[in-house]
Structure 1
Amino acid sequence: MGRIVVSENVSIDGVVQDPTGEEGFDRGGWFGRITDQARRAWAEMELQEARDAAALLLGGGSYTWFASRWPGRTGEWADRLNGLPKYVVSSTITAPSWAGTTVLSGDVPEAVSALKRSVDGDTVVHASRQLVHTLLDHGLVDELRLMVYPAVLGDGDRLFGRTGHRTPMRLQSVATVGGSLVHLVYRTEQDCGSSGS
């Protein structure tokens, strides 16, 4: 059985809204306000994550954003993302434009549970805040990877919202990335127990 790994860029106060400043959020664009050294180190970690992934899982809005950018890019990172199997949770996308995409519709927890059983390895979720809320609410997240940016935004949509499901997690690693970012990795207690960590 595979794992669902949520990999997110977040502010110190957990905001994930408008990291690139393209959505018109007055506090957006925080992703770009880091040093070149931090950006290079972040990109190296993202490339390694893509190398290690077995598939990608995205919500509809995030899928549309990624699909408008990655197919035209070149290089190892782009080649890897473009070549991975991709799954999008959407009730409106019927003809996905990004090669290798399968649309998951209907009951989301049921569809993602089936995906976990069918994919051998890590299915990585980027962005997709509403999907992440659903996955957490139904106990489907096995690992959280949080890249924390040096900003407190004080407002905006946060990664973690109200949930009816408590998810005990265990810290696996902490790393400083490029001198200003912090990478935190947590696993669910259940996943830690099953892996012997």
Structure 2
Amino acid sequence: MRKVIVCTFLTLDGVMQAPGGPDEDPTSGFEHGGWQKPVSDDEVGEAIAGWYEPADAMLLGRKTYEIFASYWPTADPGNPFTERMNAMHKYVASRTLTSVDWQNSSLLEGDVVDAVRALKASEGGDINVVGSGDLAQTLMRHGLVDEYRLTVHPVIIGSGKRLFADGAVPTALEPVSVTTTKSGTVLAVYRTNGEPTYDSY
């Protein structure tokens, strides 16, 4: 069975909104777009590239799809990630889009939960959920996330969309690897492991 893996950049206070630039996602008056680059380093880029190696597809919500589709098709071909992003299959979850034009993209049909269950049961490699906070939370609520690959950056911004928002389903996690880069970014990979257990001291 294919794994669904949530790959997300986070601030220390859990914000995932608009890491890439000021205009990436200004919804709800968000004023901190572009927070990632000043607190990142080459080790983060190497780790992200490694996280994509076993994957052969991405699962994207509408907003993230539109951001990526406006950038990667014409991105610097000298960037080795450009070819990878364009070549991977992109599954897009949207209730409003009627077509997707970025190469190797297709719209999921019907209920997104049923569609992702079918994808997990199909032949192929890992499926990375990139950005797409609303979609990620839907998948979390239905127990469809197998693993989290998170970069937690040393910055607090106090507002914005969070990956683990109010109402997140309690989930136990098993650490796969946790390291820290020279810039202080935590590279954390966790596998979901059922429900949390509780005890007292």
Equivalent residue runs for 1:66-81 within 5 Å: 66-73=68-75, 74=77, 75-81=79-85
Distance in 2 (CA, whole Å) between partners of 1:157 and 1:7 is 15
Misfit runs of 4+, over 4 Å:
none
In the alignment, is the contact (CA less than 8 A) between 2:55 and 2:126 conserved in 1? yes
- Tell me which moved more, 114-123 or 1-10: 114-123
Task: Report percent identity of matched pairs.
Answer: 39
Counterpart of 1:93? 97
DSSP 3-state at the match of 1:33: helix
In the alignment, is the contact (CA less than 8 A) between 2:59 and 2:92 conserved in 1? yes
Equivalent residue runs for 1:120-139 within 5 Å: 120-139=124-143
DSSP 3-state at the match of 1:161: coil
Change in Cα spacing, 1:164 to 1:11, as seen in structure 2 (3 Å) is closer
Point out where structure 1 has 5 or more consecutive residues left out of the alignment: 191-197
1:27 is the counterpart of 2:53: no
CA distances 1:147-181 after superposition (whole Å, capped 9, x unpaired): 00111111111111233743221122111124321
Deviation at 1:106, TM superposition (A): 2.2
Counterpart of 2:16? 16
Distance in 2 (CA, whole Å) between partners of 1:28 and 1:48 is 25
CA distances 1:111-166 after superposition (whole Å, capped 9, x unpaired): 10001111422100110000011000000000001100111111111111233743
Deviation at 1:45, TM superposition (A): 1.7
1:57 is the counterpart of 2:59: yes
1:147 is the counterpart of 2:148: no
TM-score scaled by length of structure 2: 0.87
Deviation at 1:50, TM superposition (A): 2.4
CA distances 1:48-93 after superposition (whole Å, capped 9, x unpaired): 2222212110001000001111111214211111111110001222
Counterpart of 2:120? 116
DSSP 3-state at the match of 2:8: strand
Count of equivalent residues: 187
Deviation at 1:18, TM superposition (A): 2.0
Equivalent residue runs for 1:33-44 within 5 Å: 33-34=38-39, 38-44=40-46
Distance in 1 (CA, whole Å) between partners of 2:148 and 2:166 is 17
Change in Cα spacing, 1:165 to 1:148, as seen in structure 2 (3 Å) is closer
Give the letter for the 1:109 counterpart.
V
Distance in 2 (CA, whole Å) between partners of 1:70 and 1:79 is 9
Distance in 2 (CA, whole Å) between partners of 1:57 and 1:168 is 23
Let me know the Cα RMSD of the aligned residues.
1.6
* Higher helix proportion: 1
